[in-house]
């Protein structure tokens, strides 16, 4: 369940985040996810922003002791790769092995400009960062003379108790190649139905795995669904306003297509939205159990 939208012109408070996360846990949802942005700047609209994603996940870890914790996605440009790997190992330890490290190259240039971050060669920088993060989390000692940074015998100590899974959201050829090379999981978003575009994304991932010599079944496939309030999503080709039954039907179709997880971005916030998703999950699981 994704969390962190701007609503009514303001960011959610931490108290609201806690209420949302504890409700998701009580309703037996599997995971909660945050976004990673420094600000949103779309003139002439006023600037908006969210609380820092890593701090928020770390604060939520002891509050919700069961659900997986993820980011869709942490921006590799905001934190040096070795430091991000260290932070991931620490948060995974704090949470009892529940972190999914979603990472990406970033896209919103105004926040880079505002905070003095380089926007050029984002995929090239991400390629180096992803390799360093993956190798460190796998327990390697990393020495690397890269085009952007130099690493000399970098190592995570104390050693991580497990290998934190890395998720990459990707669709272009180069990013899919990096996903197939280094990631444990893949995400594609946003959708509201299993259509030709989504099927094409799956084929593209299979082709990238084949080119990298990787078994396509070894990468966990996740999809982001944009969920509108009931009766409000008819005009959105990349979203749905389905009720519990229709949403359960979609979960059935996505599972049959090979997706292990559906990450729901609900545009409505509050218990009613979570209860709608939880009911769809219940219906989907009941059908799975009853299937011959």
Domains of the chain as residue ranges with CATH? 1-169 (3.20.20.30), 187-292 (no CATH)
Angle, CA 61 vertex, CA 58 and CA 66 arms, to 5°:
155
Average pLDDT along the chain: 94
Does the pLDDT value for residue 166 go beyond 90? yes
3-state secondary structure of 197: helix
pLDDT at residue number 290: 67
Q: Does residue 185 or residue 1 have the better pLDDT?
A: 185
pLDDT for 187-202, tens place per residue?
A: 999 999 999 999 999 9
Does the pLDDT value for residue 5 go beyond 70? no
Which of 5-14, 123-132, 163-172, 238-247 is the least confident region?
Answer: 5-14
Q: Where does the pLDDT of residue 270 fall: very low under 50, low under 70, confident under 90, or very high at 90 and above?
A: confident
Taking the CB of residue 198, how many other CB atoms lie within 10 A of it?
Answer: 19
> What's the length of the chain?
292
pLDDT at residue number 230: 92
pLDDT at residue number 177: 97
287: CB partners within 8 A, 6+ apart? 248, 252
Whole-number percent of the chain with pLDDT over 90: 91
Does the pLDDT value for residue 1 go beyond 70? no
Q: Does residue 255 or residue 11 have the better pLDDT?
A: 255
pLDDT at residue number 10: 74
The reported pTM is: 0.93
Q: Where does the pLDDT of residue 9 fall: very low under 50, low under 70, confident under 90, or very high at 90 and above?
A: low
Q: Where does the pLDDT of residue 287 fall: very low under 50, low under 70, confident under 90, or very high at 90 and above?
A: confident
Taking the CB of residue 109, how many other CB atoms lie within 10 A of it?
Answer: 12
pLDDT at residue number 66: 96
pLDDT for 63-102, tens place per residue?
A: 999 999 999 999 999 999 999 999 999 999 999 999 999 9
pLDDT at residue number 101: 98
Q: Where does the pLDDT of residue 7 fall: very low under 50, low under 70, confident under 90, or very high at 90 and above?
A: low
Mean of the pLDDT values across residues 1-23? Answer: 77
The C-alpha atoms of residue 60 and residue 31 are separated, in whole angstroms, by 12
Mean of the pLDDT values across residues 274-278? Answer: 97
Which of the 8 DSSP states describes residue 42?
Answer: -
Q: At 236, phi and psi to the nearest 5?
A: -100, 110
Mean of the pLDDT values across residues 56-62? Answer: 97
């Amino acid at each position: 369940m994704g969390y962190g939208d701007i609503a009514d012109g303001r960011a959610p408070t931490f108290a609201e985040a806690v209420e949302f996360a504890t409700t998701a846990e009580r309703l037996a949802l599997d995971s909660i996810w945050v976004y990673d942005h420094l600000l949103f700047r779309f003139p002439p609209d006023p600037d908006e922003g969210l609380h820092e994603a890593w701090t928020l996940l770390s604060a939520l870890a002891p509050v919700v002791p069961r659900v997986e914790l993820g980011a869709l996605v942490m921006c590799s440009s905001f934190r040096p790769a070795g430091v991000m790997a260290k932070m991931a190992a620490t948060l995974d330890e704090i949470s009892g092995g529940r972190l999914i490290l979603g990472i990406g190259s970033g896209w919103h240039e105004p926040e880079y400009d505002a905070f003095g971050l380089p926007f050029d060669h984002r995929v090239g920088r991400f390629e180096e960062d992803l390799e360093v993060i993956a190798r460190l989390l796998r327990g390697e000692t990393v020495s690397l003379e890269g085009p952007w940074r130099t690493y000399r015998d970098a190592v995570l100590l104390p050693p991580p108790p497990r290998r934190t899974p890395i998720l990459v959201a990707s669709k272009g050829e180069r990013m899919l190649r990096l996903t197939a090379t280094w990631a444990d999981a893949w995400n594609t978003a946003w959708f509201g139905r299993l259509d030709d575009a989504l099927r094409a994304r799956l084929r593209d991932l299979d082709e990238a795995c084949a080119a990298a010599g990787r078994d396509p079944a070894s990468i966990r496939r996740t999809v982001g669904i944009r969920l509108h309030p009931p009766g409000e999503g008819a005009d959105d080709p990349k979203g749905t306003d389905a009720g519990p039954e229709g949403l359960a039907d979609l979960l059935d179709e996505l599972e049959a297509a090979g997706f292990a997880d559906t990450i729901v971005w609900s545009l409505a916030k509050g218990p009613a939205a979570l209860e709608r998703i939880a009911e769809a999950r219940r219906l989907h699981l009941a059908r799975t159990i009853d299937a011959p």
